[in-house]
């Protein structure tokens, strides 16, 4: 996490995600760590959908960081919510 701001300042695209049911690394801890790094939320919490179903929420932070909260996912989000994580992967690759 400490190198994250310098990577963002170099123009690297970074997506972070957490499952909303993750008890190992709760999303609230991720929020706290981003705040400690000096990254501030820009705009509102935005819901996102996959196949017309609510998939979670996204937040944009300073320096271009994108954070996604994946609904119904635990610590290994791709194992719990494959289609939602594939959609997130496509967003990252293709800037959809």
What is the CATH number for 43? 3.40.50.11320
- pLDDT tens-digit readout, 66-86: 999 999 999 999 999 999 999
Asked whether the predicted pLDDT for residue 95 surpasses 90, the reply is no
Q: How many domains does the chain have?
A: 1
Predicted model pTM: 0.91
Span between the terminal Cα atoms of the chain, in Å: 26
**pLDDT for the residue 22:** 95
Average pLDDT over residues 53-66: 95
Mean confidence (pLDDT) of the chain: 94
| Domain with 48 in it | 4-94
Token duo for residue 11: 């123009």
Average pLDDT over residues 45-61: 95
Grouping H, G, I as helix, E, B as strand and the rest as coil, residue 73 is coil
């Amino acid at each position: 996490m400490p190198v994250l701001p310098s990577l963002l300042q170099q123009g690297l695209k970074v997506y972070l995600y957490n499952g909303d049911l993750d008890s190992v690394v709760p999303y609230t801890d991720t929020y706290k760590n981003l705040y400690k790094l000096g990254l501030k939320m820009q705009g509102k919490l935005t819901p996102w959908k996959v196949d017309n179903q609510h998939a979670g929420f996204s937040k944009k932070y300073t320096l271009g960081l994108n954070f996604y909260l994946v609904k119904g996912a635990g610590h290994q989000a791709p194992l719990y919510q494959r289609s939602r994580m594939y959609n997130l992967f496509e967003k990252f690759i293709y800037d959809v």
